[in-house]
Amino acid sequence: MAVKKIGVLTSGGDCGGLNAVVKGAAAMADSLGIKCYVIPNGYAGLYNLVNFEQLTELDHDRIELINTHMAGSEAGHSRVKVKKIKDPDKYERIKKGLEKFGIDGLVISGGDDSGSVMVDLHKNGIACVHAPKTMDMDLQTYSVGADSTINRIANFANDLKTTGRTHNRIIVLEVFGRYAGHTAFRGGIAADVDAILIPEIPVDFEALYAHAKEKLTSRIGGSDVFAGTYMIVVAEGLRDASGKEIVDESAGVDAFGHKKLAGAAKYVCQELTKRLKADTDIVEFMKKTHMYVEGIYEVPEAREVRPGHLVRCGHSSAYDVNFGKQVGAGAVAALVEGVTGVTMAGVAGNSVRFMDAEKAIEQRHVDIDQVSLYEQMGTCFGRNPVKFNAAFHKIEDTPERYM
């Protein structure tokens, strides 16, 4: 069946690069003489499509208004899982909505949850293609949003060093990323922070404290104005030494039914402060550096900073815009060829790469072997450093390149 009309839908948490997916899909459709419509507000809009009087068509002029430089999505989002909708006729209702507007297929941009809904819709006879998106970077493919977020985290961490150094504080920056530590890891490395705490490595607070104490005291003690800081980036899904997640249960759950994660940075501050207060060397150090004021300022402070949604809003990185256009356009090309129920991986040369969607949305964690490389260079990951064991491999084939 020739594809004449498509819908574009974005879902889950917003992030950088989404507008590039929308624009890429719309521009590709336009070039092929296919009409492209916005399905507003994710799966909520899809479920209610049947009640819409009209949809916005992304024609040549409307495409021009989509600013790929900005994060967020022109199509709007919701965190609605179709499977969870009680209505037993939900799939029929969605199909009726699509029929009403003559929509032959969907480009769906989202992360693991939204991707799993796409798989579900596809199994229920709806033609769709998944364009990967999540700032968490925890899919098997790259996903728009990650690079923009990592850059923002790196900027925040770098900026916070001025406050940290002025007040001789330990700063603990808590960042989104759920149970994968990619954004904390990559943002922290890019900002040259002292410690990065990720869910993949349960924290040994003795090891972290020893590292923090050594760095902070040597920086302040070695400074001609007694100034220094210790910078930590912590992933929101952190686990304690027993592997239990550190989460403030009062934060509640989101519409997908997931716990809202909060409390990791606070917990790290408490653990460090406890040790600073119990350590007699610290009082000696405060006296030696002429900072000690009895009852008022006896140990350095540890402060948490939680930028929350600031890590995924604002501007899209150039990398995310490039990748977003590739997967948006690639998804339309796939729909036209009848390649559906898949996740776009990128475009290398003229090869449109895709994966089985169920495989693509399997959660990917930080590669612990690679952590050791950075440990060897001095970054603390909340454990005693593990030696990096280099293994050498010569690449025989051309490596995959998306840029």
Please give the positions annotated as active site. 136
Q: How far is the CB of 216 from ligand F6P (least distance, A)?
A: 29
Q: How many binding residues for ligand F6P (CB under 6 A)?
A: 14
- Considering only residues 9, 10, 13, 276, which one is a binding residue for ligand F6P as defined by CB under 6 A? 13
Q: How far is the CB of 122 from ligand F6P (least distance, A)?
A: 22
221, 279, 286 from 293: Cα distances, Å: 17, 16, 9
- Is the CB of 236 or the CB of 320 nearer to ligand F6P? 236
- Considering only residues 23, 122, 178, 211, which one is a binding residue for ligand F6P as defined by CB under 6 A? 178
* 120: its two tokens: 């579900």
**Secondary structure of the chain in HEC code, one letter for each residue:** CCCCEEEEEECCCCCCCHHHHHHHHHHHHHHCCCEEEECCCHHHHHHCHHHCCCCCECCHHHHHCCCCCECCCCCCCCCCCHHHCCCCCHHHHHHHHHHHCCCCEEEEEECHHHHHHHHHHHHCCCCEEEEEECCCCCCCCCCECHHHHHHHHHHHHHHHHHHHHHHCCEEEEEECCCCCCHHHHHHHHHCCCCEEECCCCCCCHHHHHHHHHHHHHHHHHHCCCCCCCEEEEEECCCECCCCCECCCHHHCECCCCCECCCCHHHHHHHHHHHHHHHCHHHHHHHHHCCCCECCCECCCCEEEECCHHHHCCCECCHHHHHHHHHHHHHHHHHHHHCCCCEEEEEEECCEEEEEEHHHHCCCCCCCHHHHHHHHHCCCECCCCCCCCCCCCCCCCCCCCCCC
- Is the CB of 175 or the CB of 286 nearer to ligand F6P? 175
- Is the CB of 248 or the CB of 254 nearer to ligand F6P? 254
Q: How far is the CB of 339 from ligand F6P (least distance, A)?
A: 27
- Considering only residues 7, 16, 111, 346, which one is a binding residue for ligand F6P as defined by CB under 6 A? 111
Q: How far is the CB of 301 from ligand F6P (least distance, A)?
A: 27
- Considering only residues 177, 181, 187, 228, which one is a binding residue for ligand F6P as defined by CB under 6 A? 177
- Considering only residues 74, 136, 174, 200, which one is a binding residue for ligand F6P as defined by CB under 6 A? 136
Q: What x/- string results for residues 222 through 261 when contact with ligand F6P is judged by CB under 6 A?
A: --------------x-----------------x-----xx
| Phi–psi pair at 315, nearest 5 degrees | -105, 155
- Is the CB of 126 or the CB of 135 nearer to ligand F6P? 135
Q: How far is the CB of 267 from ligand F6P (least distance, A)?
A: 16
301 lies in the binding site for ligand F6P (CB under 6 A): no
Q: How far is the CB of 136 from ligand F6P (least distance, A)?
A: 5
105 lies in the binding site for ligand F6P (CB under 6 A): no
- Is the CB of 114 or the CB of 229 nearer to ligand F6P? 114
Range in contact with ligand F6P (rule: CB under 6 A) among 47-55, 131-139, 286-294, 357-365: 131-139
- Is the CB of 217 or the CB of 343 nearer to ligand F6P? 343
CB 42 within 8 A of CB 82: no
133 lies in the binding site for ligand F6P (CB under 6 A): no
Q: How far is the CB of 261 from ligand F6P (least distance, A)?
A: 5
176 lies in the binding site for ligand F6P (CB under 6 A): yes
Residues at the site binding ligand F6P, with contacts judged by CB under 6 A = 13, 79, 111, 134-136, 176-178, 236, 254, 260-261, 312
